[in-house]
Structure 1
Amino acid sequence: MTLTATIEILAALLSLSGVLALILLRAIWLQQRRLKQAEKRLRQLALDMEAHRENERRTRATEQSLREITWHVPVVVFVVRRGRDRRPRLSFLAGNLRALLGLNPQDMLESDDVLREWPFQDRIHPEDRERLRQHLRQAMRHAQATSFDFRACGPESLRWLHLAMVAHRQGTGETRWVGYLIDTTPIHTHNQTLRAARDAAERASRAKADFLATMSHEIRTPMNGVIGMLELLGRTSLDADQHELLHAVEDSASVLLQILDDVLDFSKLEAGNLRLDPVPFDPRTLVDNVVSLSAGPLHRKGLDVAVSMDSMLAGRLLGDDVRLRQILLNLLNNAGKFTEQGRISVTMRVLGDDDQHQRFRLSVTDTGIGIPPDKQIGLFTPFTQAEAWTARRHGGTGLGLAICRHLVQLMGGRIELTSDVGVGTTVTVELRLPIVQREVDGPAGLRGRHAVVRLASAELTHALDGYLAALGLSVEVMPPSHPLRPGVAADFLFVDAHDHDSAKLIAARVIAVDATPQALASPDADRERILLGAHPLKWQAVVRACTLALQPQESIAPRVARDNFSAPATPARSPRSGRILVAEDHPVNQSLVRRQLDLLGWSCDVVDDGQAAYEALCRTGYALLLTDCQMPVMDGCALAMAWREHETREGHTQHLPIIAMTAHMLGNDVARFHQAGMDDCLGKPVQLHALEEKLLAWTARAAPLDARATTGEPPALHGDMLRLLLETSRDDLSAIEQALAQGNASIAAQRLHRLLGGLQIFTGEAALAQALQRVDELHGDRAGEALRQLPADLADLRKLLDRLEHPVSNGAD
């Protein structure tokens, strides 16, 4: 071997040993690193084990603290889990179970930690056992939170327990329920005490309501005789001193009745027994009627009364007209009570209209003593008045505005008061009511005509403009200070009563507006002009004046003939074709209602009880039944139910109107009357105006009271009016037939309404009632069907007109 070869072998060996050395060194380094990591893991494991032991110590301490707390507090906390084997197992329990249920934890276990089925079922009160079982089943099946109160037998007595559970689903398919049982016996005992106190308060409230209802009946019954007889006495011949004394007694009786009404209404509101009864109503007529009731006392006090209505106000709205009347009447009474001189104004303005509802503001403004700002806030609080001396000087209970506020809130509106001392007070009511009918009820012949208003009073001009625009007239205002422009033409000319010159300058029907206190309440007419009273200016009076203006001047009788009998001593009765049956057991009330009906032109029969009334109805046909509600033998409700059953059984086609006369004004009496089959009710004391309204509503046979408060129409005037009726009625019938041919239900309803308005003064046959119902149907959803049935009604009306024109040949009286 050469030296070179040897050297190469040695070099190779040296290289190989270096690589092996390097490999060995790396292996040693790696092993050391692993040892260090293992040592680190061991140290971390030791730390984790220490932390785990610390956590275990804390957990045990927490559990021990929880057990100590629950041992002293009447609560048991538990955890129940259910795994794949579907068996419930008790994972945790803390609390004094023996104190709650008289059990040890071991009593609830079947084996190990497995719970027994319904472990404390025998401790549950039998009435709660099944309901608790259902709650637990639902919680177990649907894994939802649940809570339940039940009674259980404890170691000493029956206790109330509250159970609450919430479920948690685990990713492993296990479900855990965490919950607690707590003793709620003290809470239930306290609640039971509160319920007993509440029941006692409700019994006391019912006893108070029953007492008020009884007192209402007992007070209203004699008041019915007092106020009613005073009203009739005022229509007899009395000298000036007697009239003065009579007015004083009437005022005192009215105040007493108002106080009684306020107390009863406040009691109903306080008990939550007052409910609204929405019906379609005419807002203009409502204001007219309330102002008419209040105007007399206000005028006697020397106060002026003004009324103004927005022309945009709908013809009919849907609301509780009885409560609206009550609100307005209360506000007017308040205004008159605190106003010694000046005027009281009633205005109604539209604030918004969305085609379905109208929002309006009703305001009553006076020029009275005013109210200081610091006293205004409490005026809507019951039994509160601005000053202590006002109750002594002006009377009242301090309930009026509080009742108004409650009623307005029930209607979803608001009421506000503004006042300045020495200037006056304004109370405003804002309401939003549904629109039933946008057009006003008025003579169809007025729409499209032109009127010139020439009055000195700007306020009266504004009020008249609102009425005429609502009737569909175009209005041109020309104050007396301005000369009439040449060539002016109009259908109607409204002038002041003392203005006799303007009528010579324009060819138009003249309506003289008289705003003096001596003005007639109802429009009157002669061949020259029509007199319209404006103290205050009322909607119905304007409609009546315009209706008279449409008639030919030659057909109107001289006013002097009417003036001769405008103030009778004893009103005479106009003959009517039907009779009214009155069921009333009180002799004074019998005498009163007989006289009232006689004054209104109705003959009547009076019986003492419901059984006698039922027998009379079976024997004789009556136009209407007026019945008291509390009578011997058979009361009013039983009578109404018996007669409605009789009508159904016998197949009567005519529905007998039944009106209750009641002194009961609390609770759900009105609803009870309707359920018994009654159509309406009159609150006692029954006053003449209210009675007349009901007769107008349910019989369509009575003429307006203002037109009948006389000794009767002279034969000549009656004949003239009848001839005029026959002439206009033929025209109306032709117009209705034309509207029928065109399918125009609106025109047919307007002309039929006008025709019936005249016929009601002369007759009260059943054909009128049917035709009046047809008017309502023509305005409603059944207009098409009503048009198809209208020819039969027109035939009946023609026969009726023939009998009126030839009474002898038809055997009429």
Structure 2
Amino acid sequence: MDLPNILYSAWPRHLLSNCMICLICLMAWPNVAAESYSIPIQSAGQNVTPHLRLGITAPDYPPFDFVVQGKSYEGIGADYALLVQDKLGIPVFAVQFNNRDEAIRALQTGSIDLLANSNTFEASHTGIVLSTPYLDDLPAISTRIDFDWTQQKDYTDLTVVAAYDYLPLNVLQSRFPGALIKQMDSPAKAMAALIYGQADLMFSELQVAGYLIDHNYPNAAKIVATDPAREKGLGFALNADNTHLQTRINKAIQQIAPAEHALIARRWSVAGLGATSSARTVTQNQTLRVVVDRSSPPLSYFDEQGTYRGITADLLARISLSTGLRFEFKPVNGLEDALRTVRNGQADILVDFNPDNDREQYLQFSRPYLSKPFVWIGTTSSIAAPPEPDQSVSIALPRAHTLIAYLQGKYPKAQLIETNNNADSLERVKQGQAQYTVMNLSTASYYLSRSEDSRLKMLGELDEPLAKASFGVSRNNLELLGLLDNALRQIQPDEINALANRWRNNAVVQLSDWRDYKSILLQGALLVIAALVLFAAWNFVLRRQIRLRKMAEQELTDQLNQRQQLLNELASAKKQAEKANAAKSVFLATISHEIKTPLSAVMGTLELELEKTAENSDRVEPLKTALRSASELSRLISDILDTVQIETGHLSVHPAPTNLKKLCEELIQNFSATAEQKNLALQLQWTGPEHTEAILDDLRLRQILGNLISNAVKYTLTGQITLHVKVSQKAPDNAAFLFTVTDTGPGISTEHLENLFKPFEKIQSSPAGGTQGTGLGLYICKELAKLMGGELSMQSQPGEGTRASFKLTCPIAGSVRPEHAEFTAGESVTKTIQPLRILVVDDHAPNRILLAQQLNYLGHQTLQARNGAEAFDLWKTHAFDCVLTDCSMPVMDGFELAEAIRRQEQSEGQTACLILGITAHEGPDIRQQCMNCGMNDCLAKPLGLQTLKAKLFQYTVNHKPADPLFKMSTLRTLSGDNTENMQTLLQTLLDANLEDLLKLKQSLMGNAHQEQAEIIHRIKGAAKMIGAYRLLRTIETYEGASNMEQRTALAREVSDALERLIEAMQQQTHNPQS
């Protein structure tokens, strides 16, 4: 091909020099620099007079066009538009369009005045002319890094991508004959297609390609060729009829100073701004051969694909862009080979060479482009500092190195060891064949940072000479030397520094050639042969030892096998024991659940009957006796489960903030009725801060104190029982608690007292004549006290009563605010609260019926369901204030039901109803599972009237009734409170809704959007009439939808909501009194 062949990875950043140049250019551009580099985007209806309307298009076209947050326009085009604004004194506002074609039509119709960054593409449209160009249109060809551009003879079978609005398709087809042309929406998409293998070449403005590679793909793409600059560069497109504006714009562009062009170039880090095609060199078709020592990273190296990379490679790419020169590169294995290649005329340029007097006989050197000090490298195991001039040391240096003469003069006793290249020299030092080597700082830093030998270190710098990387050319090629010097003068020092910083850690060097390490490889081969001989001799000796060792190993193996067999049998026995223990735990938990479920029905029925029976009835005592027996049985089951958890190590506590005063008062209330039956005084005494919130497991504390009080009530005949609580605050966040239960009972002998905390130990005789327990209660309390970090003790003497103490130290959360509305256990279950509509869900019929009867007795309305699925259907068609659900059920359990209700409430924006779980399982895990699925609380079976009343009062004291599907009160008002008229009106509305529902479903099937809207509007009117606010909210969401797809989906939701309303209305027609 006849295009310049260069390698380009990314243009460097210019930080410090940019700042200096910007300060200089600000003197020539005071008005623009004082303001923002952006142009405001004109919003619809905005009218600013007079002003110029500048058209911009989406998507962004970096670095020419950027839209920042939809409010301002930036880029090269914006900078030149601001210059025009400054010189004409007319404000410029941007008007954004979706694409270039829309902007061109707006320019043709006069809707805008200017279109920035325009070239022959815009000029090819009727009625469009270009202003004087403010920027060269320099086309460039880009490829992927791994694409071998040099092997391409023509464009046949290649895929070329370009932005659709860069050049017309016919121009691209003539430029790339035989290629498949793909036009993309933007340069960014074109570059992405190139990077991801959907195209072979990209054709674009040089500035665009450089910007995209530099910012997005610095190690994935490169610019390989440029075309001559076009006569019509980039300028403003104008309406051909507006000749007056065209004249003024041209004059403003001609007034732009070179310093202003330079400021924009520096601001966007691009080349070619402000240049003209006449300034380009005439040498752009010349190809130069460059010889490269491949052992000098990061200045020069060849990567794993054999591509020339590094600081000098990017520098040559920069020179190629500014001069048009083409370079081809020849790698060699050292300085000596490089010099020989140039002297024999096989290369035109030698890179990375330090000028010296000896070579000036046949070479000329350009101005240095990189200066670094030479540094000493050695191993810290043998030396720690550079050599002294009178020392006898060995120094490894590549042949023809520029420092050989210098080192021989300064270190006369030194032995210079010549090597092939830098890598070979470093290997000699590593192997101990030389004490030192010398490299420039950049190359030394690269090699040492990647060396696995931590002994290699830089020991210091040479005193005088610097490593000055320059280009070397033949002495008969003065024109080339001048061209290189001129190109280097145009590159700012900070650009080269940026190149050096970029390649400091990015080089991935091609694996070295074997010739680099020829001498080392020979020495290694001799060492390997010697090692093989020694290995053979040693192998003979070892074979005999191995035979003896195998015999010993066989004997040891037999012993180990026997031991392993014993260990396996032990592990198997352990697994069987663990499996049996786990089976026992599962069995007990299952039996507990199966027993507690019917037992809760028995206890609830007895309590309900006892509540309904008159106090003086003959049935009271039998009912109380039965209830006490059932309670003891329930407590026994809980004790057995706790004992199993203690034995298996699964007993745990879950601390949480707890109001201790309230907890103790509730315990006293719970046992007050039993104490009164025996004419015992039961009281609470409190010492210390009353409103203290301790962080502990309230369930376990209730279990410990409840057991102690229960025992005191059971075994005390006369007198009193006192629960005394003493609070001693040790620190702001920590307190000590002493709980003491004192009774006036018969007391316990010392020998019995010692065994009370053992499992299944109990008092042999009861002076109270009461029933004896299982002997597990105090054992469990003792273990719980240890688990909570406390201590449980008991003091007693026969005839003097008993004193049980529980000491506990735990964190405190602070003072507790007194609660305003709460239900205590001592209050009558008939205490009036707001009647609620409650859904009762339980697969066990006796429990379900009992719970409904309990709630009816408390004054609430109930509906029953046998499982979660049946309950969810009822919930969707009724308005419930509360759902009481068993946790374990077939079809759909209580957890799934709670999750389904919460999802439905959220999707329809309903007020959350109260959900309480009921379970026969015990433990904090089941409670946490209830809370995680959306329940408000978890209640343990059996449920007494006191507990049920207290929980409902707790959660509904500030209850807001659930939204009904429709309001019967509205119908009563409309019908004049006449039942017959109300039923007639309800049936009429029901028939209308059924007809509307059928039509709505038909319109959804036929996608009749206009008909849908009319039907839903009619439904909305009927919904307002009967107060169907859930349906109304869904319709309002439908009406606010922004697109047809959303409206269709919401129309289906309206259909579903209408179906639920119809079900509720049908139920009302069948049960008009509800």
After TM superposition, the score normalised by the length of structure 2 is: 0.37
After TM superposition, the score normalised by the length of structure 1 is: 0.48
Identify the structure with the greater helix proportion.
1
